[in-house]
A and B are shown apart, each in its own frame.
Chain A
Amino acid sequence: QSVLTQPPSMSGAPGQRVTISCTGSSSNIGAGYDVHWYQQLPGTAPKLLIYGNKNRPAGVPDRFSGSKSGTSASLAITGLQAEDEADYYCQSYDSSLSGYYVFGTGTKVTVL
């Protein structure tokens, strides 16, 4: 039922850069609603990573950055570290009749 599309998996070596895309539509990201990102480490609850497209909550390393353009958004992880191996989800708000808060399909990031 996810209306935001992400690549299922991505990988990179330690120190490399990984960019995760999140593609929506005119009723969510394209309508101007902000995009937020969450990190879910194995066996744990999701954690807010980026809010309002590009803002980091206190304690989130500046290796994580977000951007938004048109109907898509991106999360970049620079200087990839072993502890970044996790699932990442984008999230936005949808103005269509069938949805309110919508999540992306999720991306598993593997550190090689």
Chain B
Amino acid sequence: EVQLVESGGGLVQPGGSLRLSCEASGITVSNDYMSWVRQAPGKGLEWVSVLYSGGSTYYTDSVKGRFSISRDNSKNTLYLQMNSVRAEDTAVYYCARGGNDCTSTHCYTWYFDFWGRGTLVTVSS
């Protein structure tokens, strides 16, 4: 059974830092592509960052230069380092595994097949 458990959320002041963790079981984070997706209170889903198995990383424009995604293979854990946080970063942050499925004629990818329960980050003074 796949489980993704986020932690590290909380209250942080504007301009501060926070590191989110996503501990995985039932999968190997280094073999898959993993993402962070956030949801501001009462709002929709917003993709934040992705870390591919080969090590490539990508970010949505609003967090580039401030957030950093990484993983610890020995702990099977994904991280999101959040620096210079802003009020607009307030959200529930979900960890999600990237899906892959191939039929005889087509491979499907770039979707998220397993999600954690999320951790709430509140940026406020």
Contacts and interface: CB of A to CB of B under 8 A. Distances in A.
Interface string A72-112: 00000000000000000101110000111111111000000
A47 B113 CA distance: 7
Interface residues of A, number: 29
Contact of A89 (B44, B61, B110): B44
Interface in B47-62: 47, 50, 58, 60-62
A102 B47 CA distance: 7
A57 B108 CA distance: 12
Given A34-B110, A98-B61, A45 B115 contact: yes
Contact of B44 (A33, A34, A92, A106): A106
A2 interface: yes
Interface of B: 35, 37, 44-47, 50, 58, 60-62, 94, 99, 101, 106, 108, 110-118
11 contacts: A2-B44, A36-B110, A51-B108, A52-B101, A52-B111, A55-B108, A57-B113, A103-B44, A103-B46, A106-B44, A106-B45
